[in-house]
Amino acid sequence: MRYPEKLKQGGTVGIICPSSPITKEREAECIKVLEDMGYRVKVADNLTTNHGGFMAGDGKARGEWINRMFADPEVDAIFCIRGGDGGTRAYQYIDLDVVRANPKIFVGYSDVTTMHLLFNQQADLVTFHGPMVSSNMVSGFDEETKKAFFDAINAEGTYEFKNPAGIPLQVMKEGKATGPVVGGNLSLLSASIGTPYEMDTKGKIIFLEEVEEPITKIEKWAYHLKNAGKFDECKGILLGQFTGITNKNMPSYTEIECLSEILEDVNVPVMYHLESGHGEKIITLPFGASCTMDTETKTIVFDVNR
């Protein structure tokens, strides 16, 4: 798995919208925040297109912009503007030969999960589950989120995932494991089963996160993964932010209790409360990179091989 080259100061960032659109005003703010960081910016022309009320253009337009940004020799890194919905419509239009020939930093989360699976599993490219331009960088780009992001994309040798100060990692099942990290948004991972980008978990460490769903859906999607055999041959499991999960009938029964029951007979190490997902602070994870998780030391360390 190839870790992409660093993003140097003054480099060019291509911003894309593979899922839902933003406004013209927000587009200007996104360009400015990156320019203020010292980067040149290239912008896909579909960021403000509204297709169907929730997509930034049809699937072909969004997929082709991903191809163009990877193919453009001036673009050093590709940042997704936001998540949302509809990204799965775009995957069939992505030219994986172009991605393989032009490995670059690719950043996003949430609905971008589909792209992570594609690029990790079919293009041999490490991608970054990290902050997006509109969702995180324009406002609320706190120092811990920012530091982790640049540490991850510009790492040398190793990169250690560290929660923000005062938020310790928690252990559900003890042990130590090494393997590439794969995963993302739980609903998208469940929906991937039976598709060409279905999550491959054999010998890998699975990362899961979700936002603003009832606990019944957490149970349904997690059991879908379990019943599909996705926990059978994995090396370990990392649970990220489960933000705004509700249980109106029994609030005391949380997603952690639910997942603990589902994973009770899964004999791999499990760590939880990773601050990565849809929270206020988002610590970057290099998907596809080899990682060693150790519950005794409560460490998560990635190898960086460029």
Active site members: 110, 209, 278
Going across the sheet that includes 285-287, the strands are 40-43, 12-16, 77-80, 105-108, 127-129, 285-287
> Could you tell me which of 54, 97, 107 has the C-alpha nearest to residue 276?
107
CA atoms within 13 A on the CB side of 197: 26
The answer to whether 210 and 218 are in contact (CB under 8 A) is yes
SS3 113: helix
Neighbours of 203 (CB within 10 A): 13
Q: What is the DSSP letter of 135?
A: I
**What is the rounded distance in angstroms from the CA atom of residue 222 to the CA atom of residue 245?**
14
What DSSP assignment string belongs to 76-90?
-EEEE----S-GGGT
> Could you tell me which of 242, 279, 282, 277 has the C-alpha nearest to residue 258?
242
The answer to whether 75 and 44 are in contact (CB under 8 A) is no
